[in-house]
Amino acid sequence: MNAFADKQTLEDLNLTGKYKPGSIFSLFNKVKTGGAEKLLEEMFRTPLVNAGEINRRSGIFQYFSRTKYVFPFEGSAFGFVEDYLGSGGQGPFITALLYVFRKRVLFAVTRDEGFTRIREGVPAAIAFLRACRTFIDGFDARDQGNPFLSEILDARSILHDSRLSLLMREGGGNSSLVRLASAHHLLTYVMQQEMEQLLAILQQLDVFITVGTIAGQRGFSFAQAMPEEAYLFRAVNLRHPSLEAAVGNAITADRYRNVVFLTGANMAGKSTFMKSFGIALYLGHMGFPVAAGEMVFSVREGLYSSINVPDDLMQGYSHFYAEVQRVKLIADEVSQSRSLVVIFDELFKGTNVKDAYEATLSVTAAFAEYRNCLFIISTHIVEVGEALRDHDNVQFTYLPTIMEGKTPRYTYRLREGISNDRHGMMIIEQEGILEMITKPAVSTRE
C-alpha cells in the first residue's frame, strides 16, 4: 500500500494504473524504455515527504523541460541491450571462454539460443555504447545549472573507460570466438556494475526528459515544496491536468484558514475542482510538474479522499455504512496528530437529509479543530455552512450557476460565499423524464 495515499484515494483521483483510461500515470507514461516505465511506476507509488528531495527532483524536471534534450533510444533496441547486459557473466575469462565455446558447439547441433544471444548481444551493446557516448558527451560538463550533472559525469566516466573505448574501436561481434568471449566477459562480468549504473542513469534520463517535455507541451508548472510546519497550500490557475480546456482557480489555505467548505449545484464542477486539488498535491509530493500557473505547498504526511466510496456486497455494507467506515478511518488518522490533507465530496449522501445535515455539521466542526490538517469538504446541504459561520478557520467557497432563461451555464470559477443554487429538478424536467413516465402507454396490438 502507498504510505502517502491509500487505495481509495488513488482510485478517487485516478492517479495510478497503466491501463486505466485517463489515469494520471498514463498522462506521463510516454517513456521509451521498460526500465524507465518501472521507475515511473515507483515514483507514483512512493511520493516524497522531504521538501529538499522534492525540490531537487522538481528542479531536474524543470531543467529538462527548459533545455529540450531528446532521448535518442527506442524501447525495443534499448530493451534488447538491457536484457543482454543484465544477463550476468560466467566468472573468470577462462570460464567465459569455455561457456561461449560450448554454446557455439550446441548452436551447431541444436541451434542453441544462448549463443545467438551472445553473438547478437555483443555488437548491439557496442553500438549502444557508442550512441550513449555521443548522447552523454552532448551535455555540457561545465553546466553547473544542471541538477543532474553529477550523474551525467558518472555516465561519462564509464563510457570513456579505456577498456570500453578499446572495445568500441575494435568491435567484437563478428570476429574470432576468443574476441567474442572477451567482449562478452568484459560487458557482463568485469564491468557488470558499471553497466548497471549506466543503464540506471539512462532510465532516469528517459523519465526526466519525457516528463519535462510533457510539462512544456501542456503548460504545467513546477511547485515549490516547503517544510511541514509551514502548513501552507497556495495555487494559482489550478486545474485538472487531463482536461485540455480546463478552467483554472486560485486557492490558498494555511493553519488559520484550513477548512475549505465548498458548495454549488450539480454539474457546477465541485468534484472536478477537488480532484484537481488532490492530484496537484500528490504530484507536488512526487516532484512532478503540476497543472497550475504556480503552486507552493508544505509537505504532508498523507492524503485521504472520500469521493467515490462504493458499497461492499461481500461485507454486506450499504453505501451509507461504507461512507461511515471511510470517515471513521480518516478520523482515526487525523486524531493521531498527523499532518494530513483530507477531501470529502458530499459527506453522508447515502442517508436522509436530516441525518446528513446533522452528521455533516458535527463531523466538519470536529475536524476543524485540527489546525495541522487541511480539509476540503463539499456538500449540497448549504444550511451546514450557515451553522459553521462561527468557526474562524472555515473559508466558504462555491461554484456558481448562471441561469440563461431556463438553461444553466457553469462558470467553474470559485467565488467566496455559500451557494443557494438548486437546479436538480429543473434538469430532470429539461431531460423530459417526467413526460416519459407519465404519458399514456401506446398499445402495439392491432
pLDDT exceeds cutoff 90 at 222: yes
Residue 409 has a pLDDT of: 87
CA 401 to chain centre: 32
Lowest mean pLDDT segment, chosen from 38-42, 117-121, 237-241: 117-121
Strand partners, 375: 259, 342
Q: Is 181 left (phi over 0), alpha (psi -120 to 50) or beta?
A: alpha
Q: Is the dihedral of CA 203, 204, 209, 215 positive or negative?
A: positive
Q: Is 230 left (phi over 0), alpha (psi -120 to 50) or beta?
A: alpha
pTM exceeds cut of 0.85 = yes
pLDDT digits (tens, 9 = 90+) for 418-435: 987 666 655 666 666 667
Mean pLDDT, to the nearest integer, of 182-204? Answer: 93
Contacts of 12 (CB under 8 A, 6+ apart): 275, 278, 305, 306, 307, 308, 343
CB 407 within 8 A of CB 272: no
* pLDDT mean across residues, the chain: 89
Residue 426 has a pLDDT of: 59
In the chain, count of helices (H) and strands (E)?
A: 17, 12
Residue 394 has a pLDDT of: 97
Strand partners, 163: none
Residue 172's pLDDT band, with cuts at 50, 70 and 90, is low
How many Cα atoms occupy the beta-carbon half-sphere of 129 within 13 Å? 30
pLDDT digits (tens, 9 = 90+) for 84-102: 888 777 778 787 777 777 7
pLDDT exceeds cutoff 60 at 322: yes
Burial (CB count within 10 angstroms: exposed 0-12, middle 13-18, buried 19+), residue 208? buried
∠ Cα 144 145 149 (to 5°): 60
Residue 442 has a pLDDT of: 57
